[in-house]
Amino acid sequence: MSASTSATAAPDYRGTPKLLIGIVLGVFTFWLFAGSLGTVAQEVLADINVDQTYITADQMNLAVSITALFSGLFIVLMGGVADRVGRVRIAIIGNIIGIVGSVLVVSAAGPVALPLMLGGRALQGFSAALVMPATMALVRTYWEGPGRQRAVSMWSIGSWGGSGLSAIVGGLLAEQNWRWIFIASIVVSLASTVLIWGTPESKAPTTGHRKFDVPGLVAFMVMTLALMIIITFGRQIGWTAPVTLALMAVVAVSAVAFILIERRNTDNPFIDLALFKNITFTGATLSNFILNMTIGLLLVSQQLFRAAEPNGLGSLQASLLTLGYAVSIIALIRVGEKMLRRFGPRKPMVWGTLVVALTAVLLMPTNLMLGQYEILAVIAYTLFGVGLAFYATPSTDAALSNLPASQAGSGAGIYKMASSLGAAIGAAISLTIFTSITEAGGVPWLRGLISFHGEQGNVAVREAAMVACGVNLIFLVIAIVSIVTTVPRGRKYNDEDDFSGESTVSAQKR
């Protein structure tokens, strides 16, 4: 599997284009393919449930969000495992697990559709938890100077660009059959494995055995999984039903247990709570969590286009509306880096969040005719990419550059975990609101306030989308408050400073 088994990376090895392509393809398998399920969920349900109902809408919502959930739960753990076991080995194992997950999803049909779908999606998330930290560590190890900056940018394009392209690629492949999305994922994962194979192994320097915080991880997993079940199935079970109340108690008890465990574990905690004493890190991580929650804007609006019968759009037609999102986020992500150099992190973080808030505003008027709403959606999706591109690099820097070097690794793990968990919880909340209001027949009082033009048979779906987008707008207001109250003003860099996107220079307040 590798040409070296030393404790550290081979000192004479430098990253090659072959390795970089393999790394980017490994990152693509999660963000591009696994991330596209939410935009083609209607097609998946129609195909699997052609004879009878094997997967309900609520269960499909869970299948959409469970991948990001498992990625977030395990990314910190697997980053540490990759450091000890070997980044090349873990990246390859992650690709293989992703292939197994995609095979299960492709096989989802008939009475076993639900366990195959949920199991496959969970494995895809776990795969991402292995691949992402391992490949980023390989970039840091095997590239230096300007080459590292280019490699980091390529890695970022694999994640942000893959996310931007997921709706288009998913819609294109779903025109033939939605299973082709995950067949393509298998092919790309195989290519990534072949390209990474043979790379000299890279491990962190050994500093003695460090026992992982299993109790902390278990408490955190129980809390998060119980919360996701409440969000996804609370309406179906009943918000005041004994099962729901018991799950709420589980969330509360496990949260308290988690805090107590982490406070007592000062040697090697799963999440170092002391990091949150750094107000800037806390604010940047919180806003990152919330910005990732707004993936619900994309998922809900795309499902609205498909569900707005009798004039709904096909999967390819709807996904092509997101082209501006893909182009803007790929083209402008380096602009966020330049804004960071010019203004410091606070201004571009606020500007980016405001642009995303404008996206939510533009997606809310679902009372318009379909053609009018399509125009708004094209503008909104483009602004969504612009806002995230402005926000991404300044937010990462604000979170990590204010931490001491000894805490940078832990801080990076928590920050990336916030990204995945934010996407999982945000998708679950938005899709639950959308599904619940649709199945309840809409919001009567909203219908009395706003006139819905055109086809009246889909008003409940349009009301559901309007409310879900409005909830995302509230999330973004909270994100702006967290930024302006925690991230210091002023410029962080001048023209003479070296900037690689991972600075450890402390913030300079004006």
Q: Kindly report the average pLDDT of the chain as a whole number.
A: 85
- Could you report the per-residue pLDDT of 370-402, keeping only the tens digit for each? 889 999 999 999 999 999 999 988 888 888 777
- Could you report the per-residue pLDDT of 438-450, keeping only the tens digit for each? 988 888 888 778 8
Query: Residue 297 corresponds to which tokens in the numbers above?
Result: 């804007």
- Could you report the per-residue pLDDT of 80-114, keeping only the tens digit for each? 788 888 899 999 999 999 999 999 999 999 999 99
User: CA gyration radius for the chain?
Assistant: 22
Q: What is the pLDDT of residue 208?
A: 55
- Could you report the per-residue pLDDT of 246-276, keeping only the tens digit for each? 999 999 999 999 999 988 887 778 888 888 8
Q: What is the pLDDT of residue 406?
A: 61
Most confident option among 53-62, 142-151, 310-319 = 53-62
Asked if 182 and 106 touch (Cβ cutoff 8 Å), the reply is: yes
pTM (predicted TM-score): 0.81
Q: What is the pLDDT of residue 136?
A: 83
Cα 93 to Cα 460: distance, rounded to the nearest angstrom: 45
Query: Residue 157 corresponds to which tokens in the numbers above?
Result: 């394009």
Q: What is the pLDDT of residue 495?
A: 38
12-204 and 275-495, same CATH topology? yes
Q: What is the pLDDT of residue 58?
A: 85
Q: What is the pLDDT of residue 202?
A: 86
Query: Residue 419 corresponds to which tokens in the numbers above?
Result: 């990204």
Per-residue HEC secondary structure of 80-127 comes to HHHHHHCHHHHHHHHHHHHHHHHHHHHCCCHHHHHHHHHHHHHHHHHH
Please give the full DSSP string across 454-490, using - where no structure is assigned.
S-STTHHHHHHHHHHHHHHHHHHHHHHHHHHHHSPPS
Q: What is the pLDDT of residue 183?
A: 95
Cα 473 to Cα 361: distance, rounded to the nearest angstrom: 7
Q: What is the pLDDT of residue 439?
A: 87
Could you tell me the residue ranges of all domains in the chain? Answer: 12-204, 213-269, 275-495
Sheet strands (E) in 146-199: none
- Could you report the per-residue pLDDT of 29-87, keeping only the tens digit for each? 888 888 888 888 888 998 999 888 899 988 998 898 899 889 888 888 888 788 888 89
Q: What is the pLDDT of residue 297?
A: 94
pLDDT tier at 407, thresholds 50, 70, 90 = low
CB atoms inside a 10 Å sphere around CB 477? 13
Cα 104 to Cα 76: distance, rounded to the nearest angstrom: 25
| Fold assignment, 12-204 | Growth Hormone; Chain: A; (1.20.1250)
In the Cβ-directed half-sphere of 213, how many Cα atoms lie within 13 Å? 23
CATH class of 275-495: mainly alpha
pLDDT tier at 505, thresholds 50, 70, 90 = very low
3-state secondary structure of 405: helix
